[in-house]
Structure 1
Amino acid sequence: MDMNQYLSMFIDESNDHLQSLNENMLQLENNPGDLGIVQVIFRSAHTLKGMAATMGFEDLASLTHQMENVLDLVRNEKLKMQDYIFDTLFKSLDALESMVQDIVQGGEGKADISSIAASLQAIVRGEGAPAETDASVQSANSSSPYPGIELDEFQFSVLDQSIAEGHKVLYIQVQLREDCQLKAVRAYMVFELLERSGEIVKTHPDVEEIEQGEFDRAFSLYFITQKNPADVENQIMNISEVDSVTMAELDHESLQQMAEESAATAEAVDHKTENAPSEPAPAAPASTAKSTESAPLKAAPKNGTHTPSRTIRVDIERLDVLMNLFSELLIDRVRLEQLANEAKNQDLTDTVEHMSRVSSDLQNIVLKLRMVPVDTVFNRFPRMVRDLAKTLDKKIDLIITGAETELDRTVIDEIGDPLVHLIRNSVDHGIEPIADRLAAGKSETGTVQLRAFHSGNHVFIEIEDDGRGIIRDNVIKSAIKKGVVTEEQAAAMSDEEANQLLFAPGFSTADKISDVSGRGVGLDVVKSKINSLGGNVTIYSTPGKGTNFSVQLPLTLSIIAAMLIQMGSEKFAIPLTSIVETGIVKKGQIRVVHGSRMVPFRESHIPLISLSRVFDIPDFDEEAEDETEIIVIRKGERLAALAIDNFIGQSEIVIKNIGKYLPSIQGISGATILGDGQVALIIDPNAFIK
């Protein structure tokens, strides 16, 4: 494995840990006394620091180490979380994210962290908050029968549970020879040996200090196993340059005595950190990578083995290649089905039908491989809303539902920025200031709901706030002022049409452009991006009660179900997701209203669009026919009818880009290859409904 692969793994895992840190910090902010969350945060920071140090990103490792020092005091109940500590830790996370992004872009992950590091160090020293580290704590620990290691309540319970289940709990101290040249390597060999037959719960010094050789010649640890202690000792002694091994087996009584001494020590804590004795204090509790993967931590399995991971990371480019290969297979399958029908050979027909069933199952699997939960996008928003609320001096609850809903990876990669725009608008311009909400009889805390759900072959993502809503008069006045519409056009607009003005380029109802947003800023970009993905966005709003932005997206962008149609000698495909129904209209039913042809549909009239005219098809003209077959299409709440020549039937098609060699064609979103090898253009219904 080359360094590029290591770097890719580091970036992926660093992003995972940073996301976990953000999420758990938000949880801790809502429940500052939950030490279980602090343990999870500490372990993520600990792992991130180790990875950064291994890869040589010193600034990243240094800043994470400073965060660890603060978190260590909190989890040992020597420091209580306060607002300024949360703010400092969140700033630290922002700096870490910036450094990781610099690494992603080919940089060295360097940054000026002196200011943030100084703030973290001040917190550890107790400046601005009580410092709760005491010399008496250290001296009490140094008199422990197992010096050097201080266990917390959580770790005591793990060891006690392990003893109850019949495991052996060993305290092990390893002394290396004076002439040992590679202390870290020898310690690593000890850890690797022990982890084959059990769990290391706690070490002193902590793991990364040992890995970097930052210890004298001795280190100690607590170990859970089912092996005979004498066998464990002999195996360690067989490692080169190990001078001696001291081992003691713990039982319930000795463990209980240690727990009582630890509790008594905690009560002796006061505010005399600076007066601590000069001798080294016990290291902060730290678990090895093997013992920090889950919370709560369970005792070691009886067979001494670990459950293997059931997930792997796959480069998205490999999935793209797989999808392209399967697309070619699907085209050949359709061709084989057509040839089998023409040949009238039963054996060939049976074989092709079996291949079709197998390839259909394969298709489902290939598509699911590309499906990713929208949670990968949603998980960035709680932190964003938290920061925006503090900046705007508002109180806002973000409620997320349906985060497990899955979308194609291509859509996921593109939808993040549009959602950021919509949420920022809801927070900034939708939710009123606290005073305005109270005056309107609302609670001081505004609510923004972010939800995702499936509906047919689409996924809907909705951003709904309980704010002031969209005021039609404000929208109209701003649109007229900016020359988007005339006064006559505005007067004839429905509320829905007026709301759609928010998506006009450069349109905004904000009195001034803030650093956050104004309703409408960037919404034209939002609409363009969503339309380019084959979706659309609709606005629903009630003045005084709130606004709902509903984004409709296709499940996948590669293989879709479509209706194949004939237009003279040409064939076209229309996505089924845009089709409401098909039908036939007689020539006498067509009406001309204000110069536009209309046809009756469900007690109303909808526009009739001639595809033969749009695409200049010379060998078909529906006006020469007494009856015209139509396809009713939908875009949001709007409907239209497409006049066609003939229906071929439904089929699953593979979307192919037209490429750079052809100019952009209005109303065409791509092409597909049919079973007979002919190319059929894919019609984009959204282009025909304005």
Structure 2
Amino acid sequence: MSDYLDPTNEELLKDFFVEAEAQIEVLEGNILVLENDPSNGDAIDELFRAAHTLKGGAGTVQMNELAEFTHLVEDCLDIIREGKIRIQESTVDTLLIATDVIKAMLEERRHGKIYAEDVSKIEKDLKDILSGSSGVAVASPTPAGSNVAPDPGQGSPSAGSASSPGELSEYELLELREAAQGGETLYAVRILFREDNPMNTVGGIHLFSVLKSFSTVLKTTPDFDALYQDMFHPVVTYYIATSVDPELHRRKLEISDVTEKVEFSEVLAAPGDSSSQARGQVERAAVPGSSFSG
């Protein structure tokens, strides 16, 4: 098992608990928004992304009871998001109770224990939402689509996605260079993900966490918010600033059951421009289809 996927890794656990607390705050805040405005689409989207992130993180650190329960919450939020049911007061109450259970599960894990209380009642209430017996069912406006995102490198970018590395504007590249600290080098890290990974929809977020351990992630393609959606992204490019050679951390990114290929390229200044914060262009490494030599 790689260090990244090792559930006993203290750094990974610390990051998970910090992220989980942030997502719980998102859950609580947006459920209260729905209590006053049941049709608030932004709040519903935020709730879904928070549950999705929690589920993926819990699965990564093998907190299976938390991952499974949060997956059920996520499924409920998904059908609400798709407009298949209308939110009622009982729906809000169920989501609030479910969030309390998530908090309790997390607290037990923080103390090295596993939550042992009976959750059958709240699970039944959540399943009632899924079946439509809780809340008012409405006709689905569109058939369910594929949960595989288009490859931004294949000319079919999703709405709101950033351009592929070779298509970034000079202004965008200038912003990246200005965001880097002195002495840091800019790289574009292009990662191809395995579709046969059971948790392929959270691969982009997982590798973001890996990159954070040795660099500053300035931008992603697709946009960062898109990585939180319940969708498989076959290719993600991360623009990072770091003062260390990323090759030293390659093994953290090359995870046999998660990634197909990892490619590094350096973001260099445009020819003829001597400014360290000049407009730039992304140039491929010397070895085609591979990493630069270090």
Q: Normalising by the residue count of structure 2, what TM-score does the alignment of the two structures yield? A: 0.52
The one-letter code matched in structure 1 to 2:160 is V
Q: Which residue in the other structure is 2:105 paired with? A: 99
Candidates 160, 183, 190, aligned match of 1:158 = 160
For 1:224 and 1:4, the matched residues in 2 are separated by 27
**Alpha-carbon deviations, 1:557-602, whole Å to 9, x = none?**
xxxxxxxxxxxxxxxxxxxxxxxxxxxxxxxxxxxxxxxxxxxxxx
The answer as to 2:137 corresponding to 1:131 is yes
What is the DSSP-based 3-state SS (H/G/I as helix, E as strand, rest coil) of the residue aligned with 1:158?
coil
| Unaligned 5+ runs, structure 2 | 151-156, 170-191, 212-216, 240-254, 262-279, 283-294
Distance of aligned partners of 1:241 and 1:53 in 2 relative to their CA distance in 1, 3 Å threshold: closer
Distance of aligned partners of 1:150 and 1:35 in 2 relative to their CA distance in 1, 3 Å threshold: farther
Distance of aligned partners of 1:9 and 1:79 in 2 relative to their CA distance in 1, 3 Å threshold: same
| Unaligned 5+ runs, structure 1 | 142-146, 169-173, 177-181, 208-218, 227-238, 246-301, 305-690
For 1:112 and 1:186, the matched residues in 2 are separated by 27
8 Å Cα contact 1:67-1:120 kept in structure 2: yes
Q: Which residue in the other structure is 1:114 paired with? A: 120
The one-letter code matched in structure 2 to 1:105 is H
The answer as to 2:47 corresponding to 1:25 is no
Deviation for aligned residue 1:105: 2.9
For 2:84 and 2:281, the matched residues in 1 are separated by 38
> Whose radius of gyration is greater, 1 or 2?
1
Distance of aligned partners of 1:98 and 1:175 in 2 relative to their CA distance in 1, 3 Å threshold: closer
Pairing of 1:306-325 with structure 2 (within 5 A): none
Q: Which residue in the other structure is 2:222 paired with? A: 200
Q: Which residue in the other structure is 2:59 paired with? A: 53
The one-letter code matched in structure 1 to 2:81 is R
Q: Which residue in the other structure is 1:184 paired with? A: 197
For 2:125 and 2:118, the matched residues in 1 are separated by 13
Q: Normalising by the residue count of structure 1, what TM-score does the alignment of the two structures yield? A: 0.24
The answer as to 2:48 corresponding to 1:42 is yes
For 1:149 and 1:100, the matched residues in 2 are separated by 30
Pairing of 1:172-571 with structure 2 (within 5 A): 183-184=196-197, 198-200=220-222, 206=230, 221=234
The one-letter code matched in structure 2 to 1:184 is N
Distance of aligned partners of 1:303 and 1:20 in 2 relative to their CA distance in 1, 3 Å threshold: farther
What is the DSSP-based 3-state SS (H/G/I as helix, E as strand, rest coil) of the residue aligned with 1:84?
helix
The answer as to 2:88 corresponding to 1:66 is no
Deviation for aligned residue 1:186: 12
Deviation for aligned residue 1:167: 4.6
Distance of aligned partners of 1:149 and 1:185 in 2 relative to their CA distance in 1, 3 Å threshold: closer
Distance of aligned partners of 1:54 and 1:158 in 2 relative to their CA distance in 1, 3 Å threshold: same
The one-letter code matched in structure 2 to 1:115 is K
8 Å Cα contact 2:193-2:234 kept in structure 1: no
For 2:222 and 2:64, the matched residues in 1 are separated by 27
Distance of aligned partners of 1:114 and 1:183 in 2 relative to their CA distance in 1, 3 Å threshold: same
What is the DSSP-based 3-state SS (H/G/I as helix, E as strand, rest coil) of the residue aligned with 1:184?
coil
Deviation for aligned residue 1:84: 0.6
8 Å Cα contact 2:56-2:199 kept in structure 1: no
The one-letter code matched in structure 2 to 1:26 is L
**Alpha-carbon deviations, 1:376-435, whole Å to 9, x = none?**
xxxxxxxxxxxxxxxxxxxxxxxxxxxxxxxxxxxxxxxxxxxxxxxxxxxxxxxxxxxx
**Alpha-carbon deviations, 1:124-161, whole Å to 9, x = none?**
111133334659714xx4xxxxx55489xxx96414x8
For 1:303 and 1:115, the matched residues in 2 are separated by 57
Q: Which residue in the other structure is 1:606 paired with? A: none
For 1:225 and 1:98, the matched residues in 2 are separated by 35
The one-letter code matched in structure 2 to 1:85 is T
8 Å Cα contact 1:22-1:93 kept in structure 2: yes
Deviation for aligned residue 1:61: 1.1
Candidates 75, 89, 92, aligned match of 2:81 = 75
RMSD, matched Cα: 4.7
For 1:184 and 1:22, the matched residues in 2 are separated by 31
Q: Which residue in the other structure is 1:13 paired with? A: 19
For 2:281 and 2:40, the matched residues in 1 are separated by 33
For 2:47 and 2:41, the matched residues in 1 are separated by 10
% same residue: 25
Deviation for aligned residue 1:10: 2.9
For 2:29 and 2:257, the matched residues in 1 are separated by 44
For 1:241 and 1:12, the matched residues in 2 are separated by 26
8 Å Cα contact 2:86-2:137 kept in structure 1: no
Identify, as 1 or 2, the structure richer in strand: 1
The one-letter code matched in structure 1 to 2:112 is G
8 Å Cα contact 2:149-2:158 kept in structure 1: no
8 Å Cα contact 1:167-1:224 kept in structure 2: no
The one-letter code matched in structure 2 to 1:21 is L
How many residues align structurally?
A: 199
| Higher RCO structure, 1 or 2 (CA under 8 Å, sep 6+) | 2
Deviation for aligned residue 1:187: 6.4
The one-letter code matched in structure 2 to 1:104 is R
Deviation for aligned residue 1:87: 0.2
The one-letter code matched in structure 2 to 1:158 is G
For 2:141 and 2:29, the matched residues in 1 are separated by 35
